[in-house]
Structures are given as C-alpha cells and as structure tokens.
Structure 1
Amino acid sequence: MYIDSHSHIYSNEFFNDTFEMLQRAGAAGVTTILMPAIDSETHERMFELEQTAQVRCLSMIGLHPCSVKEDYEKELKIIEQHLQQRKFVAIGETGLDFYWDVSYKEQQYRALEKQIQWALEYQLPLVIHSRNATQECIDMVAQYVPEGLRGVFHCFGGSIEEAQKIMNLGFFLGIGGVVTFKKSGLAEVIKNIGLEYVILETDAPYLAPVPHRGKRNEPAYIPLIAQKIADVLEMPVEKVAAVTTENSKKLFSL
C-alpha cells in the first residue's frame, strides 16, 4: 500500500477523468492522497474532492511561492480563516521559488515566515517548495526547528550534502518521478541516504516517472517511483512501500 504525499489532483488537467484517475490510483495500491494547496483559486475544488473521492484525499492549506504577488497578504488572510474553521494535514505547499520570477522575493520570505508560524501554532508539518532556493529554505526552517518545526522538502532534487542537512533538521525528503530520470543524480542520493527520511510523492500532474516522462503524472504511478528506489537500494519494493508509508503516517499524523 502507498501514500501519495503530494498530488495536485484537483487541477484542471484531471477535470475530465477524475473518477477514472482515482480508480487507477486505488488499483495501484494508493490508499491516501495528500493534496497541497496553491492559492484561493483552487481551494474549493480541493475541498470538494475530500468529500467525493473514492480514495481518501486529505487537504493541506498554504500559499505556493509562485502565487505570492502584490496581494499575498489577502491570500494569507483567507488561509488563516480556513485554519480557524477546520483541520488540515499540513501547511503547504509553501517555501521559496527563485526559478521563474524573483520580483517578489522579499514577499516570498514574509509569506513563508507567516506559514512557519502557523505550522508551529497548529502543530502541523510544513511542506516546503524550494526550487532554486534549497539552501535558503534550509536556513529558514533551521531557525524554527528548536521550537518544534517539522516537515518535508517536497520534490527534493538536490545533492547528498543538501539531503543530509535536511535530514539533520529532522525534515523528510519527498521523492517523486525525478528519481527515474537518468541524468537527475537523485538515484545516487538515495543510494547514500537510504529510506529513513524518505516519503513518496507524484507532484501530479507534473514530473511523471519513466516511462511516462513528459506526459501527465497521476497517483497511480507511485509504484514506478517505489520500484526505482527498490532497485537502487537492492531491496524488495514491498519494503520501500512499507517504510515510506509509515514515514508519511508519522509525519502527517495519519
């Protein structure tokens, strides 16, 4: 059995075949799908899936760094209202993204700090997006680990040294389809760090694993990620499934 710890199944890419996509996920052994928030434009669709999906789907709440614009404080206010009204499995996805646009760099830092405070206040894990900003995110969360901050660096694709820094903070690494890409170097990282701090994710609809690379990703592809990790670590795929599922249950209090 598997947990997809990070999947945007509420996105428009799944609008026409949501039911079938979730059927395939269930058939692949995916028992739970965790849905990271992006911004207020997709909250309602995400919440709806919690109520209607035939696979257990659970929402996070947060503001994606690429959605941090002039009105980011308005977005944060909406998140705060949701936090006061209901429970979530995590704060996220949040973090820093210096790949697409650095126009709102300072605002990204402020939005991340606010969401770290919520993670501490509500005792929830933090789901970090760190594209072109891994060390910056490590530096940010390190300040709050002594206060009890915990979480995951989702879609991890960094170096062995960065992985070690993150694990030393007690944070997990979200490993997805990139581990199946020949030139990513992520398989070598996994070989060096093992499974203790690894959880599985698809980041669907993005970053589909081989042999579906370049196509739409979906939760049913989680076993392909697990199999690659099993091959790298020379262990049965069942052990990868068991350990990573327990890691997700531990982190997200499932």
Structure 2
Amino acid sequence: MNLTDTHAHLYVEAFEEDREEIIERALAAGVKRFFIPAIDASYTKDMLALKRKYPQLMHLMCGLHPTHVKADYEKELEHVSQQLAKGGYVAVGEIGIDLYWDKSHLQEQTDAFRRQIRMAKAHKLPIVIHCREAFDEIFEVLESEKGPELRGIFHCFTGTYEQAQQAISYNMKLGIGGVVTFKNGKIDQFLNKIPLEHIVLETDSPYLAPVPYRGKRNESSYLREVLKKLSEIYGNTQESIASATTTNSKEVFGI
C-alpha cells in the first residue's frame, strides 16, 4: 500500500506530545508521503524543523491561510514571497477565501488569494485552495486567473457535483478527506460520477477526523478510513485507489 496524505498540519501544537508516534502509525498504515500546508509566518520555523527531521517524507507548502489574512497581511505575503524565493517548496497553500468565521476581510482575502496564485505561477508551482462558504468568490478569482499554468488541489472539497466539475475545469484535483465518511457530508452521493483521475486523498489532520473517529483529533493513519469509503463508492479495491490517488498527487506536485 502506497498512500499519500496531500494535506496534514503535522507541525501544529496538537501533535506536540506524540508527533513521532503519529508519523510511525501513519507509515505502518501505508502512508508514505506527507504534504504539509502552511498557515502563516509564525509556523514556518516548525515546518522547516519537521522537514529537516523527515526530509524524505515531508514536502512543504508555503502560503497564507485565508483565516489568517488580517490587517498585516501585506507583511505576511512578503514572507511568503521571500520563502518561495529560497526554494524547496512544492506548492503555494493553503490559500483561498473563508467566509465562515469572518466576512469583514473579504477584500483582503481576495487580494491575498489572487496575489499568491500569481506567485505560484511565477515559481511554476501548484496551488492548494481552502474554500469555506466562498465557492462563488473562489471561482470568480480562478476564472480570471485560469490558464495552463494554473493547477493544484481544491482542498477539503465539500461542494456540489456542478461545483466539482467547475473546480476540475480549472485544473484542480479534488482533495477528499474525512467529510466523505460523514452521514451529512453529501459528496459521497455523487463522487462516483467524478473520474478517479481527479481525486487525491487527504486528512487535514488534526482536523476533520473521519468516522469512526469523528470529533477526535485526526491523524494521517486515519487516511485508511477515507480510502475504505472511496473503495465502497467507486467499487474498486483499496489498493487500486491508493495507487491511483498517489499517482494523481505526483502529477500535481511533480514529486
């Protein structure tokens, strides 16, 4: 089994006590590749330390999370630009628009999203999108930035079938995680209409743990529960889905 967790915040405080054990459990479960999204500048040091400790396993992204776009976002974007210039990053993410918690910074979030897309293009990197209650706003930006150089992952996809098709039209893979196991998750109702070539797996750990761990801290080993659910949805073996989704992740990230 060769699984790829395309979205895991392994550097955050939630894993401070047992990070090594969690990584060992993931490896034992067949997760061999970990892609690590950024939040803001305050976590860069911890992300780099994780990469140094596990250089073959961990692949870092760089970006400003939309919920962390505040009055000082220009300073944060400068940090992203400086980090990308140093090299070693595999994507710009997670970036996007989040209107669930706070709508007051929509203009700043939109500006930060667009500018980071352009940074990704300049460095020939994919993007990883965070979208919460903002599909129309996200699609408006993607429409204006579309082209062969625009590509990436629509992280934690929770939209409709039509929105899935629209995301795919912008060269985005759909990041599928714990939500697909939820009774009210809804994406399980149409996912089998989406060709497997457009799907990658993720946990978003420590968030959004799949059933039967829902409500608990998520971890990369729980990717097996997502895999199990996709095996049921697609009527394919777990091995074939693991192989296909890992291949898809290699297509996105180039490694």
Q: Tell me how far 1:54 sits from its aligned partner.
A: 7.8
Look up the equivalent residue of 1:14 and give its one-letter code.
Answer: F
- 2:67 is equivalent to residue 66 of structure 1: yes
Look up the equivalent residue of 2:121 and give its one-letter code.
Answer: L
Q: Tell me how far 1:52 sits from its aligned partner.
A: 0.7
1:193 alignment partner in structure 2: 194
| Counterpart secondary structure, 1:146 | coil
Distance in 1 (CA, whole Å) between partners of 2:55 and 2:92 is: 24
Normalising to structure 1: TM-score of the pair? 0.97
| Counterpart secondary structure, 2:45 | helix
Runs of 5+ unmatched residues, structure 1: none
4+ residue stretches of structure 1 with deviation over 6 A?
none
Distance in 2 (CA, whole Å) between partners of 1:146 and 1:26 is: 37
CA RMSD of aligned residues (A): 1.1
1:88 alignment partner in structure 2: 89
- 2:156 is equivalent to residue 140 of structure 1: no
Distance in 1 (CA, whole Å) between partners of 2:29 and 2:136 is: 35
| Counterpart secondary structure, 2:190 | helix
2:54 alignment partner in structure 1: 53
Q: Tell me how far 1:194 sits from its aligned partner.
A: 3.1
Q: How does 1:60-209 map to 2 (within 5 A)?
A: 60-146=61-147, 148-209=149-210
Distance in 2 (CA, whole Å) between partners of 1:230 and 1:143 is: 36
Distance in 2 (CA, whole Å) between partners of 1:25 and 1:51 is: 18
CA deviations 1:123-180 (Å, max 9, x no partner) are: 0001000100122212211222225211111000110010011112221100000000
Matched length: 254
Relative to 1, partners in 2 of residues 1:54 and 1:124: Cα closer, same or farther, differing over 3 Å? closer
Checking the alignment, whether the CA contact within 8 Å between 1:4 and 1:30 is kept in structure 2 is yes
| Counterpart secondary structure, 1:149 | coil
Look up the equivalent residue of 2:89 and give its one-letter code.
Answer: F
Q: Tell me how far 1:87 sits from its aligned partner.
A: 2.0
% same residue: 43
Look up the equivalent residue of 1:81 and give its one-letter code.
Answer: Q
| Counterpart secondary structure, 2:147 | helix
Checking the alignment, whether the CA contact within 8 Å between 1:31 and 1:55 is kept in structure 2 is no
Checking the alignment, whether the CA contact within 8 Å between 2:150 and 2:170 is kept in structure 1 is no
Runs of 5+ unmatched residues, structure 2: none
CA deviations 1:75-126 (Å, max 9, x no partner) are: 0111111111122110010000000001111000110111011111000001
Look up the equivalent residue of 1:246 and give its one-letter code.
Answer: T
